[in-house]
Structure formats: structure tokens, C-alpha cells
């Protein structure tokens, strides 16, 4: 590990900006993946809910 005193401020700034960009990119990718997984889970839940609702509705109609 190099001591901080040998590095110039521009190099420190560049490394800080690079680290910030990497962190922002990782956060963006994780948010996109989480939203995709969340949307797929919601669609699956809606699909199963519609199937259950249709079965309930059909059973009510058949009873009547």
C-alpha cells in the first residue's frame, strides 16, 4: 500500500471518482435486478391469484 503523501491530489480525486462510479454502477445493477425479480414475483402472484379467483367464481356460479 502506497502512503497517501506520495499521491498527488488529482490521483486521489480520480481514484475517489472511480470508486464512486463503481459503487453507483453496482447499486444500479442490484436495483435493476431486484426490480426485475420483484416484477416477476408480482406477475406470478397475480397469475395464481387470477386462477384462484376464477375457480372461486366458477364454484359460486355452479353452486347457484
Grid cell, residue 46, equals: 397475480
Q: Which residue has the cell 490521483?
A: 11
Question: What's the pLDDT tens digit per position in 25-45?
Answer: 999 999 999 999 999 999 998
pTM: 0.47
Range with lowest mean pLDDT among 21-25, 42-46, 47-51? 47-51
Band of pLDDT at residue 9, cut at 50, 70 and 90: confident
For residue 6, give the DSSP letter: G
Amino acid at each position: 500500500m502506497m502512503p497517501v503523501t506520495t499521491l498527488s491530489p488529482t490521483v486521489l480525486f480520480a481514484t475517489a471518482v472511480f470508486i464512486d462510479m463503481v459503487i453507483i454502477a453496482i447499486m444500479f445493477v442490484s436495483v435493476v435486478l431486484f426490480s426485475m425479480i420483484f416484477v416477476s414475483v408480482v406477475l406470478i402472484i397475480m397469475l395464481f391469484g387470477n386462477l384462484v379467483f376464477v375457480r372461486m367464481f366458477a364454484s359460486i356460479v355452479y353452486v347457484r
